[in-house]
Structure formats: structure tokens, C-alpha cells
Amino acid sequence: MTATLDAPARDRVRPRRPLRTLSITDKIALAIMVGVPTLVQLLLVWLPALASIGLSFTRWNGIDLDRIEPAGLANYDYIVSLYPPFWPAVAHNVIWLLFLAGIATPLGLLLAVLLDGKLAGSRIYQSVFFVPVMISLALTGVIWQLFYQRDNGLLNNVLGTAGTPAAIDWFGDPDVNLLAAMVAATWRHAGYVMILYLAGLKGVDPALREAAAIDGANGWQTFFRVVFPAMRPINIIIVVITIIECLRAFDIVYVINRGTNGLELLGALVVQNLVGEGQVIGIGSALAVILLVVSLGPIIFYLTRAFGRED
């Protein structure tokens, strides 16, 4: 008789096991696993962010706490109206974004498509293109110095201008140093995008490609009408990462010339005003808040799309 019962009926008959309560050791381990990362986030992210918001409405020399004076919106008004590097930095960030979105990201996608095929030594190529993402910033700067040096750099040697008056000062000339820095950034960004798209391509159902082939689609049509739309979650992540990468870009330009002489970026201005002898805490904090507000746009967009899809 019992063998003829269906699964729901068996569940009704079978007594349920009582839920196991957490032991003291489990609770301590859980508290450490949750509490430590939360505390680190509070100390290193949220408290500095809240402090920056508060300090952006003050005047402070960064030394004596008793000399903090309220300034209202004066710092923001100064940045927008009188601070010379601000609007060039905004323009450079926009150019940076267009360059990454128009060249670096498609390059990463192209590398992923090529390496996703039956290419001999694919793993080796993947490692080679991903290495720039893993190496340190200092080493990145050294490598690109070797490329861009005016007298002995590889690029000027290839152009045949090394050691001559016609040699281009790639990092010193404000007309070309932004382009040189964006190429260096592309070197890193394309490898990162390549890995993400490779993961996305591995996750596409092969049946979609087979169905497209049966319908007579060629390789180009199959990719852009079937495969690429199927990677929609990866595409959203890539868009958000590209925007954030543009907004937080400062490392390369700071290594080159501390973000001056044609390499002004919002991230570099924040560091210039918060660190060093010429620090102006109120201005630097206001710039950080502006950068934070602009960065929240793509983050909210990504979270809305991600959680909206789950609902």
C-alpha cells in the first residue's frame, strides 16, 4: 500500500526531521565570516565616503581639526566656475570612455571570439592577453616607458625618429600623451574584457548555433543575431565595467606625470587635492563626491537590470 503512494503523499506520511540549530561554534564562525568583511567595508569604504561628503562642504587644511570651517556649496561653485583643470578633466574622461567603448572593448570581444574557436595554443594566447590585467601598475609603467621613450623608445625607433629632433615625446607632448595613455589602458582593458566574453561564449547553448546554421545563417549573422544577444548578462557587465573603468582611471596618468600637462582626469584631480603638500581637503572631497555621484549611475543601472531580471 505504501509503495503506491505518490511523492506528496509520502511527504505527508513521513515525519519531518527537526531543523538543526546552530551550535555556538557555528554562530561564532558565522559572526566572523559576516562581521569581519562588514567591518572592513565600513572602515575602508563607507566611513571615508561619508567623511568625504561631509568635508566637501568645509574648508580644512588637513592638519588641525579645530580649523575645519563650514563652506556650504563654495567648494562646488569654485570647482565648476574657477578650477581650471576641472572641465578639461571631464572632457578627457569622456574621450577615455569613448576610446574604451569604441576600441578596447570591441578588441577584447574580437580576441574572445578568435580564441573561442578551434585555435591551436588557445590557452597560451589567453594567458598572454590576460597577463596585463595581473601585473602591477609599476611594471605597467616601466613597460610603456620602454615603448614611449623619446630617444630610445621602441615606437620612435620603429618610426625611425629616435635620437632626432623629429622624435615624438609621447608622454611629454600634451597633444599626444592622452592618446598614448589610452593605448596603455587598452592593453589592460582588452584582456579583462576578453576573459569575460570567453566565459560568456562558453555558456551559450550550442543548439542555438546549430539552429541558426539549419536556418541558413552565416557565421556573421549567427554571432550578431543569435550568440551576441544570448550573452546579454555579460554585455551589461561589460558596459558597466567600461564606464566605471573610465571614471576611476587615474593610475596610468598618475604614473606618467601625476595627471597634468594634458592628462587631467577626475580621478587624478581627487588624488592631487587630497594627497601631498598642496592638499585642499574641501576641494578634493568635493571632486570625490562628484565622481561618486557620476559613478552611481552605471552601478544603479547594473543592479536594477540584474535584480529586475531575477524578479
In a domain, 304, yes or no: no
| Segment holding 58, helix H or strand E | strand 58-59
Residue 60 counted as domain residue: no
pTM for the structure as a whole:
0.79
- The pLDDT value given to residue 6: 54
Residue 45: inside a domain: no
> Partners of 306 in the beta sheet?
none
Identify whether 51 is part of a domain. Answer: no
> What is the tally of structural domains in the chain?
1
Rounded to whole angstroms, the maximal C-alpha distance in the chain is: 98
Confidence of residue 2 (pLDDT cuts 50, 70, 90): very low
Average pLDDT over all residues of the chain: 84
Residue 245 lies in a domain: yes
Q: Which range marks the domain in which residue 198 is found?
A: 83-279
> Which residues does residue 69 pair with via DSSP β-bridges, in sequence order?
59
Q: Is 73 helix (H, G, I), strand (E, B) or coil?
A: coil
For residue range 64-113, list pLDDT tens digits in order: 777 888 888 999 999 999 999 999 999 999 999 999 999 999 999 999 99
Distance CA 39, CA 45 (A): 10
Residue 106's CATH number: 1.10.3720.10
Helices 105-116 and 122-134 meet at what angle, rounded to 10? 150
Within a domain: 95: yes
- Gap between the terminal Cα atoms of the chain: 42
Q: For residue range 253-298, what is the model confidence (pLDDT) as tens digits?
A: 888 878 888 888 988 888 888 876 667 889 999 999 998 888 888 7
